[in-house]
Structure formats: structure tokens, C-alpha cells
């Protein structure tokens, strides 16, 4: 398979593809590595901002989901964040121990556990309101680039899911 297109910088992506076909691929030619490196760099931007709230990035994502929905089942949170229950359960326990969320089994179906915000969890939203803007500023990209990149990453995720 050859992927070829002329890039803005004048490079041709088919050169990278040819290197892989010849067994001479380089790490900088790997899309998965570029995504991995970008993800790690993004986490490094979030870390100091979230540390002051006592949150990790995955815990912050759970809070963002709940700030949007107020109450959500564990299963729905996992589906939304692409996290399995083995990863999600400890996150939720930690958030519950900090007083940001509460867990409750549904009376109609005790297999389902709903997660909802506490007053402290709602108040945290106000304290963390500028986190997304601070992160966006650190990315150093224009809004139209941000929108395009977000759309492309969503498409890629949908294709791979």
C-alpha cells in the first residue's frame, strides 16, 4: 500500500511508506508514535493544572462527563471515555473518597451503578473552569486548526473502534 500526498512543507509521504516497504522504517514515520507522543505531551500540559485540584487526567475526564450529564451509569462513563471497568473502578473510588462524586445502585436494577456529582463536585467545576482555555493556549494552534485536528482524530478513532 502506498500513501502519497504532497505536504505543505514539500515532503512526499510516499517516501516514508517506501522506507517501511524496504524494511527501513523510522519511528518518526509512524502515525501511532506521533499520536502517542502528542498524547503524552498533552498530559504534561494538563498535569500541573489538575494537580492543584488533586485530579489525574482520567479523573478529570470523568468529572467533565458528569459536569455535562450530572448523573451517569458507570457503563456509560466507560463507553464515553473508552475505559474498561478495571480502569474506571479505581478512578471512581478515588473520586468518591475525595467527595466529588457518589455512587448508588439503581433500585430498579441493582446491577447498574449510577455516578452523580456531590456539591463539592459541582463546586469543582467553577474552580476548574479555565483549564480547557489554559490548555488550548499551550497548544499554540489557531482555532480552525484545532477544529480540523479534532475532527480528524474523531474520524480516526471511529475507524479504529
CA angle at 63 for the pair 76 and 50, rounded to the nearest 5°: 140
Residue 107: phi, psi to the nearest 5?
A: -70, -35
Instruction: Tell me the average pLDDT across 109-120.
Output: 95
Q: CA–CA distance from 139 to each of 1, 38, 45 (Å)? A: 33, 10, 9
pLDDT tens for each residue of 16-74: 667 767 666 789 889 999 999 999 999 999 999 999 999 999 999 999 999 999 999 99
Q: What is the pLDDT of residue 161?
A: 84
User: Vertex 91, ends 109 and 132: CA angle to 5°?
Assistant: 110
Cβ contacts of residue 32 below 8 Å, gap of 6+?
A: none
pLDDT band with cut points at 50, 70 and 90 for residue 13: low
Mean pLDDT along residues 107-135: 95
Name the pairing type of β-strands 113-117 and 101-105: antiparallel
Q: Does domain 29-160 correspond to CATH entry 2.40.37.10?
A: no
| CB-based contact 3:17 (threshold 8 Å) | yes
Q: Where are the domains of the chain?
A: 29-160
Question: What is the pLDDT, as a whole number, of residue 18?
Answer: 73
Q: Which residues contact 13 (CB under 8 A, 6 or more apart)?
A: 3, 4, 5, 7
Mean pLDDT of 98-126: 96
pLDDT reading at 1 higher than 50: no
Query: pLDDT at residue 6 above 80?
Result: no
Question: 4 in helix, strand or coil?
Answer: coil
* CA atoms in the 13 A half-sphere facing the CB of 160: 8
In this predicted structure, what is the pLDDT of residue 51?
Answer: 97
What is the pLDDT, as a whole number, of residue 29? 87
Angstrom distances, CA of residue 64 to CA of 32, 47, 102, 129: 26, 16, 15, 10
CA distances for 90 relative to 15, 141, 147, angstroms: 45, 34, 32
pLDDT band at 2 (very low <50, low <70, confident <90, very high): very low
Amino acid at each position: 500500500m502506498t500513501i502519497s500526498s504532497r505536504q505543505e512543507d514539500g515532503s512526499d509521504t510516499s517516501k516514508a511508506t517506501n522506507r517501511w516497504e524496504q524494511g527501513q522504517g523510522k519511528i518518526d514515520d509512524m502515525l501511532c508514535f506521533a499520536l502517542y507522543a502528542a498524547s503524552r505531551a498533552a498530559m504534561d500540559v494538563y498535569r500541573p493544572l489538575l494537580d492543584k485540584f488533586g485530579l489525574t487526567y482520567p479523573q478529570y475526564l470523568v468529572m467533565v462527563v458528569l459536569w455535562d450529564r450530572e448523573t451517569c451509569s458507570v457503563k456509560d462513563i466507560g463507553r464515553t471515555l473508552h475505559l474498561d471497568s478495571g480502569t474506571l473502578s479505581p478512578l471512581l473510588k478515588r473520586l468518591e473518597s475525595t467527595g466529588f462524586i457518589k455512587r448508588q445502585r439503581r433500585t430498579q436494577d441493582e446491577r447498574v451503578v449510577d455516578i452523580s456529582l456531590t456539591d463539592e463536585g459541582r463546586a469543582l467545576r467553577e474552580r476548574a473552569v479555565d483549564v480547557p482555555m489554559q490548555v488550548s493556549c499551550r497548544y499554540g494552534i489557531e482555532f480552525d486548526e484545532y477544529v480540523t485536528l479534532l475532527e480528524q482524530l474523531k474520524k480516526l478513532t471511529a475507524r479504529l473502534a
